[in-house]
Amino acid sequence: MPDTPSIPPVPARSRTVLVTGATGNLGRELLARLHARPAAVRRLDRRPVGPRPGVESVRGDLTDGGSVRAALDGVDTVFLIWPLLDTAPAGPLIAELAAAAPRVVYLSSTAIDDDAVRQSDPIVQVHADMERLLRDAGLRPTVLRSDTLASNTLGWAAQLRAGDVVRGPDTARTAVVDEGDVAAAAVEVLLRRGDDADRTPYLLTGPEPLGRADQVAILGAALGRELRFEPVPADAARARMLADGRPERLVDALVTASLRRPESRLVTDHVERLTGMPARSFAQWAVGHGAEFGRRP
């Protein structure tokens, strides 16, 4: 892939940014960073949320054209996270985006294989399909393809509060990236002016590929504990996730991803090019989030 040009400084004039997915780990990081910058920030929320200084909340759903239309009123730029495993309900959203014609920054996945007819698993497939739908609508999205987010490991917190073993389906190694770095990169892209669609996708990775066992060992070092990862067969992992109350379609997608998604050795400097700071390691992330795993004295 050709080198991605450096990003010019962000002008001081304020933009109005609509953030979707604001309640997630990445969304919260993004809101915090936007709050410190010259931008008017609006969030689209399916449920009522408490007030946050400097952030306007609009109730609505990405699958409802009317609420999307209201949320887009006066918006320059949209940070888009598509939360479903199917693009069929995206029709109203795409239509409203095409009518309002804001600049769209779409969060996608580094696992996409641009040469493949079909992607490795449903999660990657929906990202590839959304990228295509946005382009086909003439929106020329700026695409941020993120590697596996470090915050995904927060799903192990209950296990680590109860003991020293993480059990789950194993996955291929990938360059796990700090969601704070993805948010920082997204802010720089959201607030700059001009069209950089032809330069994307930006590929946002951490500094080294890691497997599940690697991540558990690194968490153990941060917590001062001897931790280990115990792989669980796919059928057992599926049964456990269903028992925990996760939706069946999501469980099937996660299990398929664990079985089919190939190892990635991709490591880029795109976080540093966008933010001016190198991507942080998973070890740094683990030290900063130790309390969430029940750090022992």
Within a domain: residue 32? yes
Q: Angle at which helices 65-72 and 91-100 pack, to 10 degrees?
A: 30
Structure tokens, 67: 């609420």
C-beta separation of 286 from 217 below 8 A: no
Q: Tell me what pLDDT residue 13 has.
A: 47
Within a domain: residue 287? no
Domain count, the chain: 1
To 10 degrees, the CA torsion angle through 146, 288, 156, 176?
Answer: 30
Burial (CB count <10 Å: 0-12, 13-18, 19+), residue 233:
exposed
CATH number, domain of 63, equals 3.40.50.720
pLDDT category of residue 7 using cuts at 50, 70 and 90: very low
Count of helix runs (H) and strand runs (E) in the chain: 11, 9
Q: Give the range among 1-15, 26-40, 88-102, 105-119 with minimum mean pLDDT.
A: 1-15
| 3 has pLDDT over 80 | no
Q: Tell me what pLDDT residue 269 has.
A: 97
Within a domain: residue 3? no
Within a domain: residue 76? yes
Within a domain: residue 243? no
Within a domain: residue 78? yes
CA pair distance 7, 12, nearest whole angstrom: 15
Express each pLDDT in 234-277 by its tens digit.
999 999 889 989 999 999 999 999 999 999 999 999 999 999 99
Which of 240 and 126 is assigned the larger pLDDT? Answer: 126
Within a domain: residue 235? no
Q: Tell me what pLDDT residue 297 has.
A: 44
The secondary structure of 258-289 as a DSSP string is HHHPPP-----SHHHHHHSSPPPPHHHHHHHT
Q: Give the range among 53-62, 137-146, 203-212 with minimum mean pLDDT.
A: 53-62
Within a domain: residue 109? yes
Q: Which residues contact 87 (CB under 8 A, 6 or more apart)?
A: 126, 129, 130, 133
Q: By residue range, what is the domain housing residue 192?
A: 15-147+178-204+267-280
Region class of 6: left (phi > 0), else alpha (psi between -120 and 50), else beta? beta
Express each pLDDT in 18-63 by its tens digit.
999 999 999 999 999 998 888 899 999 988 777 777 899 999 999 9
For residue 222, which of 282, 163, 173 has the smallest C-alpha distance? 282
